[in-house]
Amino acid sequence: MKIKVGFGFDVHQLKDNHPFVIGGVNLEHHKGAFGHSDADVLLHAICDALLGAANLRDIGFHFKNTDPQWKGISSIILLKESVRLLKEKGWQVGNIDAMLCLEAPKINPHIPQMQKNIAEAIGISVEDISIKATTNEQMGFIGREEGVVAYAVCLIEK
């Protein structure tokens, strides 16, 4: 068996009165992430981790933010497509470990649904999806609620 580890990172600007989707969950908040797709920072970091582990470049290579095909698209679709690309190369996902960094809203109540959404999109157990959240202690652009950041690592196996 061959295994590889991947690392992903994503950041999105927060804007007033904009939808806020994280892990495929629509969050109630006065600000939301802005981007070409639904700007789901968590799923974008996971896609980058998976694609990177399989040496398939990154999310921007496959889903260009200048391509109207991806405008406003659910990042669940981008995650499913990333997993399809891995499977074409004979890889399967072992597990995901992710970290969100934002001041608000509180993420903890939404983690089980996020895990479920991601597990279903990838085709693995909820037990293999770890999501954690922290704040930036009111420092920097995260602390001022100007942006949101996500990090992810994954294990893939062949």
CATH code of residue 96: 3.30.1330.50
Cβ atoms of 18 and 148 closer than 8 Å: no
Which pLDDT value is given to residue 103? 96
Q: Note down pLDDT in tens along the chain; length 158 residues.
A: 999 999 999 999 999 999 999 999 999 999 999 999 999 999 999 999 999 999 999 998 888 888 777 787 899 999 999 999 999 999 999 999 999 999 999 999 999 999 999 999 999 999 999 999 999 999 999 999 999 999 999 999 99
Indicate the number of domains in the chain. 1
Annotated binding residues: 10-12, 36-37, 44, 58-60, 63-67, 134-137, 141, 144
Annotated binding residues for a divalent metal cation: 10, 12, 44
Which pLDDT value is given to residue 61? 87
Number of C-alpha atoms within 13 angstroms, CB side, residue 24?
20
* Cα distance between residue 98 and residue 86, in whole Å: 19
Which pLDDT value is given to residue 106? 95
Which pLDDT value is given to residue 102? 98
Domain span holding position 69 = 3-157
pTM here?
A: 0.97
